[in-house]
Structure 1
Amino acid sequence: MIRLLPGRPRSLRRRLVLGATVLATVAVLTSQVIGFVVLRSWLMDRLDEQLRAFPPSTARLDESLSVPGHPIHPPPEGVELPSDFHLYFYDASGRLSKQFIGRGLKSPPRLPESASRLRLRPGSPTTLPAVAGDGNWRVRRGTAPNGQAFVVALPLDTLDGAMSKLLWLDAAIIAVTLAGLVTAGRLVVRLGLLPLTRMEGTAERISAGSLDLRLGDTDPRTEIGRLGGVLNTMLERLQGALLERQSSEARLRRFVADAGHELRTPLTSIQGFAELSLRHHELPSPDRREADRLIMQNAERMSMLVNDLLLLAKLDQEPAYRSEPVDLLSTAADAISTAAVRHPGHSIGLGPLTGDAAELELAETTGDPHRLRQVVGNLVSNALTHTPPGTPIHVRVGTARADARRGMDRSGRVGASPALAEGTRICVVEVADEGPGLTPDQAAHVFERFYRVDPARARDHGGSGLGLAIAAAIARYHGGRLELDTRPGHGCTFRLVLRQE
């Protein structure tokens, strides 16, 4: 069994040059063939017209043939009449006589010796071979009025010679055309594919590590330009995905390091106090109780941290929330009551969203009451924890429409979720303090997991750094957002924005 091997793949440039050359060659060859056939047919028709027009008058020919004593004889030997016509007669007995005119060195047409064997239709020109050589003759049979047959013939040497020269000329034209097409085609294709060549060079540099490079030929009016635009868009998305992956890996490493740091502290404390209790059996009761209390305190701290981590893992999996009406005004009031008991040194007030409102406004949305209560509680607890004692805390609740003041992005504002569409009806819970505020760099990371403003990560300056991350995740999965407006020395305003149902 013969197995056909695939041919060597050709480049796009070679395929274009080859295709253009083949198509042009076919077009030129077709036009030459048509011209050759039309010219030969026209010349043959002209030859046939000459045959039909000879002799000019068959009446005079008949008179010459029928006059007694005036026989027609061929010219003497060695004498050539100045004519290409050859005229042959068949006498009354049907025998072929000699030629009358056009005697020369050309081999005569092959005619039968008897008129009965003459297979020519009267009036219809026919091509016959010569007696010797490879020449041909165009012959026509005629009949004189006296009934005698004659044959008039013209040689085809001139026509065949002209056609032969024309064929050689056509072959030369085709050869020159092919050479010109290959040369010009390579130049034209190279110029046409120059944008692709530049794209290839740019792509090689990008693959070598220059990820910021982009393709320059992006004219939307051309196919290559549209391809360049699509590739640039793809490169930007790939670069964005790569940067996001690197950022995600960095966040994951930082998350693992922060989680290990936060868990290591209570575990070390528990281990140390447990070893102290086991090694020193005769510790005084107050010391033993203090060690047990510290073990319990660190165990609770670690338990809370683990619970927060589990909660974040559940939030990342898009858990199903309960969907029921939630009164944000009552939720804020409950969070303030709980915080007032734990932080008696702070002043916490509940007011309307806009200062010109005379009364508190009812703000109802749809969501999970427990999770939304957790968000508002985290915001209030965060304000109380990170401000000095006695700092006033203002909690505002109301409804509005999304604009530059709330629900949308603007300069200096940090949002943990995408902005809402302008004009969307929203419910808002604002927790504002009059503390020292945050710098722009601190505000940019405030919603990250385990982020804490205090670089020493002291326990007396806040929790584990997961509260705002949890609150942002809950707001995001409720279709809202958590945002922060702050300036150093002007306090912080955390804002929970939810769609009004």
Structure 2
Amino acid sequence: MRWPRRLRPRSLRSRLVLIAGLLATSAVLLCQFAGLTVLRGWLTAQVDDRLSHFRPPDVVYEDIAAGGVPRPPEPDHALPSDYRVFFYDEDGNLLPASLGSVDATGPRLPRRVADLDLSAGRPSTVPARGDTGSGWRVIVHPGPGRAQAVVALPLDTVDGATAKLLWLSLGLGAAVAAGVVVLGNGAVRLGLRPLTRVEHTAQHITAGALELNVPVADPDTEVGRLGLALNTMLDRLRASLRRTATSEARLRHFMADAGHELRTPLTAVQGFAELLLAEPDMPDRRRREAHVLIARNAERMSRLVDDLFLLAKLGDTPVPHREPVDLLSLAADAIATTAVRHPGRAVTLEPLAGHPGGPERGLDIVEAPGDPHQLAQILGNLLSNACVHTPADSGVRVRVGAARTPVGRSALGGGPPLPPGTPVCVVEVADDGPGIRPDEAPHVFDRFYRAAPLGQGAAPGCEPGSGLGLAIAAAIATAHGGRLELDNHPGEGCAFRLLLPDSAAVGGGDGEEVLR
């Protein structure tokens, strides 16, 4: 059944009350109908029993045989007050005389016995004469000869009892429906109170109160489980919104820093180009100097763009391929390249503290899976920073070895920390310079951040970097599943440590130590 749209209940509470009222009323009416049917059948059976045990007196049949009209019985054979007896003669005609009350009421019987659709000895119901009043229950008894007697009892008592019970059932159904609507409305309202609180909280959240949580009264109920699911969803949405806001802020900051870094060389290139155009008769020496400065600033922009592209690529794609990389040979090659660019710098290659091997025995080979070109870029950036940002007489030491990450050790680093006890291959670049200021050390791995060393120890004649070298190195280490850490000791120098996890490189033998 479909309700008209105008009458269809809109709230869940109204629907529950309506459904409960309909079900309760239907159950009551069904039970009353079953009781009514049983009662009417029982009362009718009582009437049939009375009919079956009643026989007209024999004197009545003698009167019919003698004169055709039965006489009223003697007091000893008087009929009960509610019985009516009708007779059909030997020819099958209905006799006008009958026994019992002589009022106008009575069963509607046919004129001919042939039209009487009754089986001998089996009660049946026939309508009342003139369709007035209740029906009659009748039974046929054969008499002497071919005469037949029809005994009838009215069903007034049966119909009256069933009618009263029917009205009682209807009244009881209406009372039950009204009670269910009134009491059920309060019960459903009380039961749905937690869901109502969830609804109100959801409305406040929709209005902008994103910090709210859905109240959970009982987590074992359906509403409680719904509240827990909604709270979990809200926590994830809030975390996603925070990540989105942080990402947008970092993107805006990154774009501002990138624009600031590109603006300086672009301004220089534009200025020198305008100078060349404005002074076509410029002396050759000044013209060559302008060309050199334009080329230098263009190269600086090119390096900056390449670094930005590399950072974006590292953030979007995994390491292209992995192969066993000999970190000792990689460190030796990086030291050789640094010696060419910084010929006066003392750079040494040493074993990691506690790692077996030394000048007498030679350094052990330490291999880690990775991309040799990207790992070489990390070592190149670390050695370049150590040479550029420390005094010329400061020593630089490169240490290679294998270890395990310690428990409870916290160090500044780029990328997530490794679990304690993880076997790692280590390449450490340490210097004897002034170190980094404590307030700047946590930001050295940020993009476009330039930490000023303590004192004025930077190598002369070196132009400032873009602030992307350590960010690139940390991103490469993270892409390899490792980490780039910083141990800073203001006034005594600092050490950058590359950790690359490799279970095959550190198997728990004698060549293993715990990082300190």
**Normalising by structure 2, what TM-score?**
0.80
Q: Measured at CA, do residues 12 and 365 of structure 1 come closer, stay the same or move farther in structure 2, by a change above 3 Å?
A: same
Residue from 82, 85, 89 that aligns with 1:84:
82
2:466 maps to 464
**Which one-letter code corresponds to 1:11 in the other structure?**
S
Residue from 361, 364, 385 that aligns with 1:382:
385
- Give the whole-Å Cα distance in 1 for the aligned partners of 2:468 and 2:278: 36
**Which one-letter code corresponds to 1:214 in the other structure?**
N
**8 A contact 2:327–2:366 mirrored in 1:** yes
2:189 maps to 190
Q: Measured at CA, do residues 215 and 431 of structure 1 come closer, stay the same or move farther in structure 2, by a change above 3 Å?
A: farther
**Which one-letter code corresponds to 2:27 in the other structure?**
A
- Give the whole-Å Cα distance in 1 for the aligned partners of 2:442 and 2:391: 22
Q: Deviations over 1:177-199 (max 9, x none)?
A: 22222222322222232222212
2:508 maps to none
Deviates more, 1:309-318 or 1:369-378: 309-318
**8 A contact 1:218–1:226 mirrored in 2:** no
1:399 maps to 402
Q: How many residue pairs were aligned?
A: 482
Instruction: Give SS of 1:450's match.
Output: coil
- Give the whole-Å Cα distance in 2 for the aligned partners of 1:278 and 1:97: 145
2:499 maps to 497
In the TM superposition, residue 394 of structure 1 has moved relative to its aligned partner by 4.2
Q: Measured at CA, do residues 82 and 66 of structure 1 come closer, stay the same or move farther in structure 2, by a change above 3 Å?
A: closer
- Give the whole-Å Cα distance in 1 for the aligned partners of 2:159 and 2:229: 62
Q: Measured at CA, do residues 383 and 230 of structure 1 come closer, stay the same or move farther in structure 2, by a change above 3 Å?
A: farther
- Give the whole-Å Cα distance in 1 for the aligned partners of 2:21 and 2:431: 80
Deviates more, 1:315-324 or 1:279-288: 279-288
Deviates more, 1:36-45 or 1:334-343: 334-343
1:367 maps to 370
In the TM superposition, residue 329 of structure 1 has moved relative to its aligned partner by 1.6
Q: Measured at CA, do residues 241 and 124 of structure 1 come closer, stay the same or move farther in structure 2, by a change above 3 Å?
A: same
In the TM superposition, residue 449 of structure 1 has moved relative to its aligned partner by 1.8
- Give the whole-Å Cα distance in 1 for the aligned partners of 2:365 and 2:175: 91
Q: Deviations over 1:271-296 (max 9, x none)?
A: 44455555567777766655554444
1:431 maps to 429
1:205-224 → structure 2 map (5 Å cutoff):
205-217=204-216, 219-224=218-223
1:37-48 → structure 2 map (5 Å cutoff):
37-48=37-48
**8 A contact 2:403–2:425 mirrored in 1:** yes
1:228 maps to 227
In the TM superposition, residue 450 of structure 1 has moved relative to its aligned partner by 1.3
Q: Measured at CA, do residues 442 and 218 of structure 1 come closer, stay the same or move farther in structure 2, by a change above 3 Å?
A: farther
2:514 maps to none
- Give the whole-Å Cα distance in 1 for the aligned partners of 2:470 and 2:323: 24
2:309 maps to 310
2:247 maps to 248
Instruction: Give SS of 2:253's match.
Output: helix
Q: Does 1:16 align with 2:16?
A: yes
2:477 maps to 475
Q: Does 1:108 align with 2:117?
A: no
Q: Deviations over 1:68-125 (max 9, x none)?
A: 999963279xxx9653222334455555363334x26571112234544433111111
**Normalising by structure 1, what TM-score?**
0.82
2:25 maps to 25
Q: Measured at CA, do residues 209 and 277 of structure 1 come closer, stay the same or move farther in structure 2, by a change above 3 Å?
A: same
Deviates more, 1:122-131 or 1:181-190: 181-190
**8 A contact 1:96–1:114 mirrored in 2:** no
Instruction: Give SS of 1:172's match.
Output: helix
- Give the whole-Å Cα distance in 2 for the aligned partners of 1:285 and 1:114: 149
**8 A contact 1:125–1:140 mirrored in 2:** yes
In the TM superposition, residue 464 of structure 1 has moved relative to its aligned partner by 0.9
- Give the whole-Å Cα distance in 2 for the aligned partners of 1:117 and 1:300: 125
Instruction: Give SS of 1:83's match.
Output: coil
- Give the whole-Å Cα distance in 2 for the aligned partners of 1:275 and 1:64: 148
Q: Measured at CA, do residues 116 and 305 of structure 1 come closer, stay the same or move farther in structure 2, by a change above 3 Å?
A: closer
In the TM superposition, residue 489 of structure 1 has moved relative to its aligned partner by 6.5
- Give the whole-Å Cα distance in 2 for the aligned partners of 1:398 and 1:446: 25
- Give the whole-Å Cα distance in 2 for the aligned partners of 1:106 and 1:444: 116
Deviates more, 1:285-294 or 1:468-477: 285-294
Q: Give identity over the alignment, percent.
A: 53
Instruction: Give SS of 2:166's match.
Output: helix
Deviates more, 1:280-289 or 1:87-96: 280-289
1:443-462 → structure 2 map (5 Å cutoff):
443-454=441-452, 462=464
In the TM superposition, residue 374 of structure 1 has moved relative to its aligned partner by 0.2
Q: Measured at CA, do residues 145 and 213 of structure 1 come closer, stay the same or move farther in structure 2, by a change above 3 Å?
A: same
**8 A contact 1:126–1:138 mirrored in 2:** yes
- Give the whole-Å Cα distance in 2 for the aligned partners of 1:491 and 1:176: 92
- Give the whole-Å Cα distance in 2 for the aligned partners of 1:185 and 1:218: 22
- Give the whole-Å Cα distance in 1 for the aligned partners of 2:102 and 2:488: 119
2:264 maps to 265
Q: Measured at CA, do residues 144 and 485 of structure 1 come closer, stay the same or move farther in structure 2, by a change above 3 Å?
A: farther
Q: Measured at CA, do residues 205 and 64 of structure 1 come closer, stay the same or move farther in structure 2, by a change above 3 Å?
A: closer
Is there any run of 5+ residues in structure 2 with no aligned partner, and where? Answer: 505-516
- Give the whole-Å Cα distance in 2 for the aligned partners of 1:36 and 1:444: 89
**Which one-letter code corresponds to 2:471 in the other structure?**
A
- Give the whole-Å Cα distance in 2 for the aligned partners of 1:73 and 1:489: 146
In the TM superposition, residue 136 of structure 1 has moved relative to its aligned partner by 0.6
Calculate the aligned-residue CA RMSD, in Å. Answer: 3.7
- Give the whole-Å Cα distance in 1 for the aligned partners of 2:45 and 2:299: 116
Q: Deviations over 1:126-159 (max 9, x none)?
A: 0011213132101111224666422222111111
- Give the whole-Å Cα distance in 1 for the aligned partners of 2:137 and 2:175: 35
- Give the whole-Å Cα distance in 2 for the aligned partners of 1:165 and 1:155: 17
Instruction: Give SS of 2:182's match.
Output: helix
Q: Measured at CA, do residues 275 and 183 of structure 1 come closer, stay the same or move farther in structure 2, by a change above 3 Å?
A: same
Q: Measured at CA, do residues 254 and 358 of structure 1 come closer, stay the same or move farther in structure 2, by a change above 3 Å?
A: same
- Give the whole-Å Cα distance in 2 for the aligned partners of 1:225 and 1:394: 62
1:138-177 → structure 2 map (5 Å cutoff):
138-144=137-143, 148-177=147-176
Q: Deviations over 1:228-273 (max 9, x none)?
A: 2222222222222222222222112211211121122222233444
Q: Measured at CA, do residues 276 and 93 of structure 1 come closer, stay the same or move farther in structure 2, by a change above 3 Å?
A: closer
**8 A contact 1:91–1:97 mirrored in 2:** no
Q: Deviations over 1:378-435 (max 9, x none)?
A: 2233344444555554433233445547xxxx6554442x445565543232334564
